[in-house]
Amino acid sequence: MIATQKPIEIRKVTESRIHQVDWDNLGFGHVFSDHMLVMEYHNGEWGAPVIQPYGPLHFSPAISSLHYGQAIFEGMKAFRNTDNEVFIFRPEENAKRMNHSAERLCMPTLPEDVFVHCVEQLISLDRNWVPTLDGEALYIRPHMFAIDEYVGVKPSDSYMFVVFTSPVGSYYTSELKVKIEHHYSRASHGGTGSAKAAGNYAAALLPTKKAQDEGYNQLLWTDAESHEYLEESGTMNVMFRKGNTIMTPQLSDSILSGITRDSILQVARDWGYVVVEKRIAVTELIEGLRSGEINEAFGAGTAATIAPIRTICLDGEDFNLNEYSTWEFAPKVALYLDRVKRGRENDTHNWNHVV
Ligand SMILES: *Cc1c(COP(=O)(O)O)cnc(C)c1O
């Protein structure tokens, strides 16, 4: 039983849009399923969730999230196997992280069971929208934003929690070229880097665009204080394999604690790799690339699971890794996690939430 849950009101579409979808060209994030879930917070409590047709929301231009950025989000995926079973990957972790983000942005939290139940009911109604082919998934985007109609800087009293979903193809296809950034920063100590706060992504757009204009796909962010230690790559956590060791920057308040990161590290331990979470200096990375001791480098996140990094640029000098297909760890863990998420592998860690 979900003690804290108010019954979900369901207003179904009169006609599904599912037949209009070009399933062979899903891309990422621009096709939306029939329904969305909306729940409002007023006078210190959450109201009843409503599942309603996906579409525009109406609010005043004075709502505070548009001006002062009280806006947070989550990103997660659901998968469907050939037996028509639907699995959501580790949604409890997204519920926890959304609350972590909410606390940092001075927003109300949501009981974890309510979060999971809301997502589950929405997916259950739109289960035909969950793709079944390899590489595809239903991307789920829960988010929360302030809706007080008030032009003053203070924590809003009212909020909207919305979940919509989007069938997606695979996110990144090619091997990435990344540039080590040592002028701009993504997040600083004491800031909001460990929250999935909308403003963090706005601040990263210009530096990322500059790198893209120079021919790189993404940035490899360094710490804001010294720019000597690695943080993340784009909107992914970053990992390296050095022989039998999987290395990744240790979590801090400037690093987003990725669920993919956590899952990969767990699998690496299961497989007998040594997992090292520590501050990784740019100099250590470059030495490892020069000597050939670093054999793999990749981003980790829900959208791509694993995004192989082929080239790393420091101060105009490119360092290359071998072809992704020759790596021993990342391709194997990507395939393994994909199989777990699709219910094709023994789910030893109880990661799948069955809808
Ligand atoms: C969402 C996100 C990640 C990855 O988190 P997952 O839970 O694995 O999807 C990593 N870094 C940043 C900055 C993110 O926003």
CATH no. for residue 182?
3.20.10.10
Q: What is the pLDDT of residues 116-150, one digit of tens each?
A: 999 999 999 999 999 998 889 999 999 999 999 99
User: What pLDDT, on the 0 to 100 scale, is given for residue 315?
Assistant: 96
Expressed in angstroms and rounded, the spacing between residue 193 Cα and the centre of ligand 1 is 10
Q: Which two tokens stand for residue 69?
A: 């950025």
If asked whether residues 136 and 213 sit together in one domain, one would say: no
Mutate to test the pocket of ligand 1, among 236, 255, 305 (most ligand atoms within 8 A of CB): 236
Rounded to an integer, what distance in angstroms lies between the CA atom of residue 322 and that of residue 326? 7
If asked whether residues 155 and 241 sit together in one domain, one would say: no
Rounded to an integer, what distance in angstroms lies between the CA atom of residue 298 and that of residue 309? 5
Asked whether 39 and 46 are in contact (CB, 8 A), the reply is: yes
CA-closest residue to ligand 1 atom 6: 258
Rounded to an integer, what distance in angstroms lies between the CA atom of residue 297 and that of residue 312? 9
Expressed in angstroms and rounded, the spacing between residue 236 Cα and the centre of ligand 1 is 5
If asked whether residues 233 and 329 sit together in one domain, one would say: yes
Asked whether 255 and 231 are in contact (CB, 8 A), the reply is: yes
Does any domain span residue 352?
no
Expressed in angstroms and rounded, the spacing between residue 256 Cα and the centre of ligand 1 is 6
Expressed in angstroms and rounded, the spacing between residue 348 Cα and the centre of ligand 1 is 23
pLDDT < 50 regions, the chain? 1
If asked whether residues 281 and 184 sit together in one domain, one would say: yes
87: CATH: 3.30.470.10
If asked whether residues 134 and 207 sit together in one domain, one would say: no
Considering only the C-alpha atoms of the chain, give the largest distance between any 2 of them, rounded to a whole number of Å.
62
Go through the chain and tell me how many residues it has: 355
User: What pLDDT, on the 0 to 100 scale, is given for residue 5?
Assistant: 74
If asked whether residues 200 and 285 sit together in one domain, one would say: yes
Does any domain span residue 350?
no
Does any domain span residue 349?
no
At residue 119, φ and ψ (nearest 5 deg) are: -65, -45
User: What pLDDT, on the 0 to 100 scale, is given for residue 331?
Assistant: 96
Does any domain span residue 67?
yes
If asked whether residues 54 and 145 sit together in one domain, one would say: yes
User: What pLDDT, on the 0 to 100 scale, is given for residue 171?
Assistant: 63
Domain that holds residue 157: 9-170
User: What pLDDT, on the 0 to 100 scale, is given for residue 1?
Assistant: 47
If asked whether residues 333 and 199 sit together in one domain, one would say: yes
Asked whether 305 and 334 are in contact (CB, 8 A), the reply is: yes
Q: What is the pLDDT of residues 28-63, one digit of tens each?
A: 899 999 999 999 999 999 999 999 999 999 999 999
48 CB-contact burial (10 Å; exposed 0-12 / middle 13-18 / buried 19+): exposed
Question: For the chain, what is the domain count?
Answer: 2
If asked whether residues 187 and 328 sit together in one domain, one would say: yes
User: Within its chain, how far is the Cα of 186 from the centroid?
Assistant: 16
If asked whether residues 226 and 258 sit together in one domain, one would say: yes
If asked whether residues 185 and 206 sit together in one domain, one would say: yes
Rounded to an integer, what distance in angstroms lies between the CA atom of residue 350 and that of residue 240? 26
If asked whether residues 255 and 335 sit together in one domain, one would say: yes
Does any domain span residue 211?
yes
Task: Report the alpha-carbon angle 7-10-13, nearest 5.
Answer: 170
Paired strand residues for 46? 41
Does any domain span residue 71?
yes
Structure pTM? 0.96
Rounded to an integer, what distance in angstroms lies between the CA atom of residue 19 and that of residue 38? 25
Neighbours of 308 (CB within 10 A): 21
